[in-house]
């Protein structure tokens, strides 16, 4: 077998040597992907006349210098149909989508930023963070995958637990529908720490959809959707290993192994171990700056495929342990007290199965069934306050898709979602004993119609009808428009509704890291909001290269919201239904341009006006920056042996929750600050080494824990966090892979 592979490789090299003899003219770069967006390494790409050719690397990436008259590329990959791809704009990043069963229409994709792709022909405002983009920073987990992304923010929820929150369009991550493999995940209790539950080396790509999303995946998307795609067994490398260590005592190991058992069946095993047991207290307030953590997770997934049937299934287990709080004893008055210790233990299991049948290949007619489930066991202790939650979830979806002539597409289906929470501990007995057992069942149906009368125009309209065991019937309309009046301009508009059922304690348990008393209204209604958005993308030729400009505006208006009120009382938190106005207005502009070969520069600026009504007063949302600017640069040397990445973030100031009028312990506003991240990567044949630093400016929020000297007193609060609590961090990592032949 090895001799046969060597012989085929030599033949390929000889063939490439023959076809590259032509004089090059234009430089074309791009990716070769399968229908799921998975890179196809080792695919051959050449011009139609076979004058020049190349092969894609491990990320499916290729670079090709072709004669100036080239207008057609051809891609070949074992097990896939040959694909011909017209090169309308040679300066664009070309993406060639191949399929083993049916011939798909090609798509034109442009680089919307460094490490991201934006489909020019997509109806939704969608960007994809590629596998190559995920290696531009440490990216040990999902929360660190957005460090170079101008649209998504990730910040710590408090100063002690290590919980992180995502933010999109100025609103908290609870209003973003989180998906893995295109089914809802990381909901409820898992939303608090869930961003740490997906290791970066496991991910193939991340898709970020802003604004009103498709109705196919449910009604919960208010500000957008984020979907994570794991590496696929059929095309993943047989072995990939990533080892990571930081100057702050963080150690992590990842391994992904894939086996193609036969032409139809393949499997992959994913392993992750994470350890950060060193104690840090740089501000000497006796509280750890970061919790001591250990976690282990494993995922086994299977892929089975015939010409008309595809099945993907998997099971994932996770164990996560965190200990934080004080490092020494404390005094409360004249009496000694035990250290204020915070512990969090999570055991989690996830299952999923996706099955699709092609009914009519000519009409792209298919039917699919998706089933997923999870069990989340979380036991937490905040000194003398105990909170345990046991969450079960089952999701099922039946989907049907078909084309009716060239301009018409229809997608329809049925969904079921079941959530059950069992909550225990003195926190539950004190604040919401009626919610010790809570459950919701939602069943719904949807239809989505897409009309493309001409290539330049697309209308997509969707409608859902759902019935909740808690909130009865509700309808979710959404509509999207795309219009490209010229090859250098794409315009998009969207409008739609989103709904969400709030389970207060599971989703906000990090607020227990304070002495605030909780006040939860007994009649909390379903959250309901409209989202409107417009965007324009410009592709401007500048000196044989392309300058990409994007401008967008999104407005979110709540008809009802469960308000989290930290302003009415500095010693309490209130949860109640909105009585007044709540809105978010976000404007963003970004530009990307390859200044010279191998070097790309991206700049972005986002302005946010997020307001809410707190006990009759309309105020800006606290702990939210008014603006964010980002500048990121990436340079690759010839043959991609060296890569240099740097990102500067400018975070604007904002408003703090209202302090105690008689004894204010924090200011009314927080200042702006700057952070710098950088990384250097050296690639070899089968492995690479990377060295980087985070928060190189060394900025830290001072006194992040309020009243740290008296954690059992009424003033203690570790949730007034608006900036980083750790200073400079340096890291070193090694990646090793055996490529798929």
What average pLDDT does range 697-721 have in this prediction? 93
Which pair of structure tokens corresponds to residue 254? 């990842």
Cα→Cα distances 531→15, 169, 211, 213, 224, Å: 54, 10, 6, 10, 9
How would residue 335 be classed by pLDDT, with cut points 50, 70 and 90? low
**714 and 570 co-located in one domain:** yes
Per residue in 175-203, pLDDT (tens digit) is 999 999 999 999 999 999 999 999 999 99
Most confident of 80-84, 132-136, 676-680: 676-680
Helix (H, G, I), strand (E, B) or coil at 231: coil
Domain contains 118: no
Residue 272 has pLDDT above 50, yes or no: yes
If asked whether residues 46 and 170 sit together in one domain, one would say no
Give the pLDDT confidence score for residue 50 in this predicted structure. 67
Assign 20 a pLDDT band (cuts: 50, 70, 90). very low
Residues 591 and 525 occupy one common structural domain: yes
pLDDT of residue 647: 96
Identify the CA nearest to 121 among candidates 410, 537, 434, 414: 537
pLDDT at 634: 94
Residues 419 and 458 in one domain: yes
pLDDT score, position 18: 36
Q: Has residue 736 got a pLDDT over 90?
A: yes
CATH code, domain with 368? 2.40.170.20
Tokens of 671: 């200042």
The band of 564, judged by pLDDT with boundaries at 50, 70 and 90, is very high
Cα 54 to Cα 43: distance, rounded to the nearest angstrom:
8
- Does 440 share its domain with 525? yes
User: What is the pLDDT at residue 37?
Assistant: 57
Has residue 1 got a pLDDT over 60?
Answer: no
User: Mean pLDDT, the chain, as a whole number?
Assistant: 88
**Which of residues 74 and 228 earns the better pLDDT score?**
228
Does residue 252 lie in a domain region? yes
- H helix intervals, 395-462: 426-431
Domain hosting residue 149, numbered range: 126-733
Q: According to the model, what pLDDT value does residue 722 have?
A: 95
Question: Would you say residue 117 lies in a domain?
Answer: no
Tokens of 136: 């531009």
- Let me know whether 136 and 79 are in one domain: no
Cα separation of the two ends of the chain: 12
119 belongs to a structural domain: no
Q: Are residues 80 and 193 in the same domain?
A: no
What's the CATH code of the domain at 75? 2.60.40.1120
Q: Assess whether 657 and 708 both reside in one domain.
A: yes
Percent of the chain whose predicted confidence (pLDDT) is above 90? 67
Contact between 229 and 236 (Cβ < 8 Å): no
HEC readout, 549-568: EEEEEEEEEEEECEEEECCC
Structure token pair of residue 59: 């990320």
* Average pLDDT of span 344-359: 96
- The mean pLDDT value for 335-357 works out to 91
Q: Is residue 110 part of a domain?
A: no
pTM of the model as a whole: 0.86
The answer to whether residue 739 is domain-embedded is no
Q: Looking at the predicted structure, is the pLDDT value of residue 105 above 70?
A: no
Does residue 33 share a domain with residue 66?
Answer: yes
Listed residue (154, 259, 246, 245) closest to 198, CA to CA: 154
CA atoms within 13 A on the CB side of 157: 23
> 637 — phi, psi (to 5°)?
-75, 175
Reported as a single tens digit per residue, the pLDDT across 610-649 is 999 999 999 999 999 999 999 999 999 988 899 999 999 9
pLDDT of res. 481: 97
pLDDT of residue 19: 36
Q: How far apart are CA 142 and CA 201, in angstroms?
A: 10
Sheet holding 26-34, edge to edge: 61-66, 26-34, 93-98
- In degrees, rounded to 5, the angle at the alpha carbon of residue 408 between the alpha carbons of residues 405 and 414 is 120
**Burial call 233-256: b when 16+ CB within 10 Å, e when fewer:** bbbbbebbbbbbbbebebebbbbb
Query: Span 277-305, mean pLDDT?
Result: 93
Question: Is there a domain that residue 698 lies in?
Answer: yes
Give the chain's count of helices (H) and strands (E): 4, 47
pLDDT higher than threshold 50 for residue 115: yes
Q: Is the pLDDT of residue 89 over 60?
A: no
Residues 213 and 319 in one domain: yes
Q: Are residues 172 and 71 in the same domain?
A: no
Residue pair 722/156 in contact by the 8 Å Cβ criterion: no
Where residue 249 falls (left for φ over 0; alpha for ψ -120 to 50; beta otherwise) is: left
Tokens, residue 483: 């219009």
Q: What is the pLDDT, as a whole number, of residue 596?
A: 87
pLDDT of residue 103: 37
The answer to the question of residue 151 being in a domain is: yes
Domain count, the chain: 2
CB 187 within 8 A of CB 178: yes
Is residue 231 scored above 50 in pLDDT?
yes
pLDDT digits (tens, 9 = 90+) for 377-405: 999 999 999 999 999 999 999 999 998 88
Asked whether the predicted pLDDT for residue 429 surpasses 60, the reply is: yes
- Where do the H-state alpha helices sit in 432-525? 504-507
How far apart are the C-alpha atoms of 391 and 421, rounded to whole Å? 5
Q: Is residue 601 located within the same domain as residue 539?
A: yes
């Amino acid at each position: 077998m090895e001799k046969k592979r060597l012989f085929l490789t030599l033949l390929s090299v000889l063939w490439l040597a023959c076809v590259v003899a032509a004089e090059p003219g234009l430089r074309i770069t791009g990716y070769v992907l399968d229908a799921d967006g998975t890179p196809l390494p080792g695919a051959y790409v050449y011009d139609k006349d076979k004058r020049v050719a190349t092969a894609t690397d491990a990320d499916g990436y290729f670079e090709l210098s072709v004669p100036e008259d080239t207008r057609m590329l051809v891609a070949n990959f074992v097990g896939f149909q040959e694909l011909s791809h017209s090169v309308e704009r040679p300066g664009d990043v070309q993406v060639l989508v191949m399929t083993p069963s049916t011939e798909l229409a090609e798509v034109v994709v442009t680089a919307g930023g460094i490490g991201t792709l934006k489909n020019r022909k997509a109806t939704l405002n969608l960007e994809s963070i590629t596998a190559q983009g995920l290696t531009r920073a440490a990216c040990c987990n999902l929360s660190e995958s957005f460090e170079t992304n101008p649209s998504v923010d990730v910040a710590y929820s408090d100063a002690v637990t290590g919980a992180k929150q995502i933010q999109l369009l100025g609103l908290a991550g609870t209003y973003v529908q989180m998906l893995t493999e295109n089914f809802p995940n990381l909901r409820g209790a898992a939303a608090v720490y869930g961003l740490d539950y997906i290791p970066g080396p496991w991910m193939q790509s991340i898709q970020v959809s802003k604004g009103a999303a498709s109705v196919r995946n449910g009604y919960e998307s208010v500000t957008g959707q984020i979907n994570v795609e794991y590496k696929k067994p059929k095309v993943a490398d047989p072995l990939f290993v990533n080892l990571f260590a930081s100057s702050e005592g963080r150690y992590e190991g990842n391994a992904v192994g894939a086996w193609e058992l036969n032409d139809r069946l393949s499997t992959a095993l994913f392993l992750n171990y994470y350890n950060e047991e060193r104690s840090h207290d740089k501000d000497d307030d006796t509280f750890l700056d970061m919790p001591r953590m250990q976690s282990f997770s494993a995922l086994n997934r299977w892929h089975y495929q015939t010409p008309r049937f595809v099945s993907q299934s998997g099971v994932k287990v996770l164990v996560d342990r965190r200990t934080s709080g004080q490092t020494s004893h404390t005094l409360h008055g004249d009496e000694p007290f035990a250290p204020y210790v915070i512990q969090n233990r999570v055991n989690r299991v996830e299952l999923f199965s996706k099955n699709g049948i092609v009914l009519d290949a000519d009409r792209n007619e298919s039917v699919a069934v998706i089933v997923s489930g999870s069990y989340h066991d979380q036991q937490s202790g905040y000194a003398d306050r105990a909170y345990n939650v046991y969450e079960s979830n089952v999701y099922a979806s039946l989907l049907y898709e078909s084309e009716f002539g060239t301009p018409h597409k229809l997608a329809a289906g049925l969904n079921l979602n079941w959530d059950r929470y069992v909550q225990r501990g003195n926190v539950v007995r004190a604040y919401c004993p009626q919610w010790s057992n809570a459950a919701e069942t939602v069943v719904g149906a949807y239809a989505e119609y897409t009309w493309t009368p001409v290539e330049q125009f697309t209308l997509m309209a969707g409608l859902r009808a759902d019935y909740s065991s808690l909130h009865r019937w509700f309808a979710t309309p959404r509509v999207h428009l795309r219009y490209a009046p010229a090859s250098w301009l794409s315009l998009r508009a969207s409008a739609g509704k989103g709904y969400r059922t709030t389970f207060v304690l599971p989703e906000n348990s990090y607020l227990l890291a304070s002495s605030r008393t909780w006040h939860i209204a007994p009649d909390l209604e379903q959250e309901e909001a409209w989202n409107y958005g417009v965007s324009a993308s410009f592709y401007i030729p500048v000196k044989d290269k392309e300058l990409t400009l994007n401008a967008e505006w999104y407005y979110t208006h709540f008809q009802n919201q469960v308000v989290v009120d930290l302003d009415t009382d500095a010693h309490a938190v209130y949860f109640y239904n909105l009585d007044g106005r709540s809105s978010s207005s976000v404007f963003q502009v970004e530009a990307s341009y390859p200044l010279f070969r191998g070097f790309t520069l991206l700049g972005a600026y986002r302005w946010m006006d997020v307001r809410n009504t707190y006990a009759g007063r309309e105020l800006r949302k606290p702990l939210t920056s008014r603006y964010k600017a980002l500048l990121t640069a990436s340079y690759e040397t010839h043959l991609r042996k060296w890569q240099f990445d740097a990102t500067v973030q400018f975070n604007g100031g904002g408003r703090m929750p209202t302090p105690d009028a008689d004894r204010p312990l924090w200011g009314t506003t927080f200042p702006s600050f700057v952070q710098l991240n950088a990384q250097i990567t050296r690639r070899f044949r089968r492995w690479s080494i990377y060295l980087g630093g985070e928060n190189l400016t060394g900025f830290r929020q001072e006194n992040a824990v309020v009243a740290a000297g008296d954690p059992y007193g009424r003033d203690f609060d570790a949730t007034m966090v608006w900036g980083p609590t750790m200073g400079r961090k340096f890291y070193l990592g090694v990646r090793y892979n055996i490529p798929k032949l």
